[in-house]
Structure 1
C-alpha cells in the first residue's frame, strides 16, 4: 500500500538563492491511518514541513507526494489546526465549523442544497469533542480549550484524509491540554484519519503518536524515527510508567544533541 505522505530529499529555502535554508535533504514517510509526531529544536523547520505537505510552499528541490499526487498547489484533502484557533468572532461556533465547506470545491457546490446534512455532521463532531449544544455560541463565549475543540471540528468537517496539527495545544493550561490529548486520541480512533502533529511537547508526542520523527537543527532533516511501543487505547496513567518516561528522556537527549550540533 503506498504511503499517504512521501517527502523525498526536499530542500526549501526562503528569500531567494542566498536566503535561509530551512530544510535540506528532508525525507519521511507517513502511512494511511498513522498518527505521526514531529519534534526537534526551535527553528528546525517543523512548520516548514507542514507547509510543504499542505502545498502552501513548493520546494526548490526534491518531491512531496500526498495521496499519490505530486504537490504543486494547496492540497484539498488536508485539514489543519493551529495553536491559535482564529475563529471568526461574528460567526457562531457552528458557522465557524462549516466555514471550510464554503471553500473546499467538492463541498462548496453541495452546501446550499445539503445544508441540513452538513449541520448534522458538524453537530456530531461537536458531540464527539464534548461540545454538544454549544453550536449556537459565539467564540467569545467559549474558553480557550473549548475554542480549540471547535477548531478540531472545523479541521475535520470536510472529511480530510490527512489532519495536520501545528502546536494546537501549546497555549493551553496543563489540565486542558491533557483533556484535549484524550479528545484527539478518541477522534483518531473513531475517524481513522491520518494525523501529523508538530509539537515541542515530548510527552504529548509520546502519548499520542504511533511514530515520532526527530528533526535536526536548521537546515532541518529527519535524524531519527521512533516507533512508539505503547498499545492503544492509551490513558493518561501511561505517563507515570517508566517506559513512557524513558522514551521522553531519550527524545529530549536526541533534541539536545541536535541543538548542539547546529
Structure 2
C-alpha cells in the first residue's frame, strides 16, 4: 500500500562552535501516495537532511511529519532508503544482500527460513526485475557501480515499502549508465507502485524522473519553487529533446543559479568575456 507524506512547518538546525546553523527553514510540502517527487537545489540547501527526516534518521527541531496520516518517531519498514554509496555487504552475494532487509524486518537470524520460502522467491523476482538474474550469486566486488546500485534498489524494494527515499543514487555513475538506471527506476516503480522522493543535483534527471520538481534554495534550506512536469508519466529518451522539456530545464537551471546569486544574463557573461579578452591583450 502506497502512502502519502505531509510535511508541515519543519525547522532543523545543527549545532556548531557559533551556537548553531539553521539548515531547514519552515518546510511545508504535500506528497501524494504513488507520486514520484524529485528535489533539486544547490549544495547546502538541506535536500539530504530533509530526506533523512522523512526516513526517521534525523529529528526536526519542530514541525510535523506525517506518513500515511500517521506521525513518525523513527525509521520504519514502510520507508526504505537508497544511498549514493550502495551500502552493500561485501561478504554477501547479490541474493543474500537483497534478502538481508527482510531478515532485519523479521528480526531473525534464520537465513535458511528466509531462503526456502516466499521471501526468496520475491528476492529472485526483484533481482530479475533489475536485470541481474545471471548475477544473483555474485559478490559486490564482482559488480560494476551500476550493477551494485541495481542491487541496492532491489534490496530497498524487498520489504514492499510504501515509500522509497533516494539520495543522489546515481551521482557516482557515468552518464550512459545513469540514463539506463533512470529508465530502470521508472520501470520498476511503475510495477511496484511505490511513492518515491528522489534527491539530485542534476536538473535534467529531476525533470525526467519526477511528476513534480521541488527546487530548494540554500543557507538556510527553503522551498523556492515547485514545478509541475507537463509530460506523460511514461517517459522515454526522446522526451529529453522535447522543446517543452528543454524550456523547462532552462527555466529551472536559471532559477537554481539565481538561488545562489548567479545568473545566465548575457550582458553579464559578455562583460566577463570582454574583461578576460582585455587581460589577455594587456
Aligned residues: 259
Q: For 2:36 and 2:64, how far apart are their aligned partners in 1? A: 22
- Counterpart in the other structure of 2:273: none
- Counterpart in the other structure of 1:231: 232
Question: Contact 1:8/1:64 (CA < 8 Å) preserved in 2?
Answer: yes
Q: 1:15–1:241: structure 2 CA closer, same or farther, 3 Å change rule?
A: same
- Counterpart in the other structure of 2:271: none
Question: Contact 2:77/2:159 (CA < 8 Å) preserved in 1?
Answer: no
Q: Which runs of 5+ in 2 are unaligned?
A: 263-282
SS at match of 2:133: coil
Q: For 1:253 and 1:123, how far apart are their aligned partners in 2? A: 44
For residues 137-194 of structure 1, give each alpha carbon's deviation from its aligned partner in whole angstroms, at most 9, with x where no partner exists.
0001111111111110011100000000000001000000000011001011111100
1:3 shift after superposition = 6.9
For residues 188-216 of structure 1, give each alpha carbon's deviation from its aligned partner in whole angstroms, at most 9, with x where no partner exists.
11111000000001111111111111111
Provide TM-score, normalisation by structure 1: 0.94
1:76 shift after superposition = 2.4
Q: For 2:105 and 2:221, how far apart are their aligned partners in 1? A: 31
Provide TM-score, normalisation by structure 2: 0.87
Q: For 1:217 and 1:90, how far apart are their aligned partners in 2? A: 39
Question: Contact 1:12/1:21 (CA < 8 Å) preserved in 2?
Answer: yes
For residues 89-132 of structure 1, give each alpha carbon's deviation from its aligned partner in whole angstroms, at most 9, with x where no partner exists.
11111111111112224x75997545321111111111111111
- Counterpart in the other structure of 2:7: 7
212-221 vs 156-165, greater mean Cα deviation: 212-221
Q: For 1:111 and 1:90, how far apart are their aligned partners in 2? A: 14
1:133 shift after superposition = 2.0
SS at match of 2:259: helix
SS at match of 2:75: coil
Q: For 2:70 and 2:103, how far apart are their aligned partners in 1? A: 24
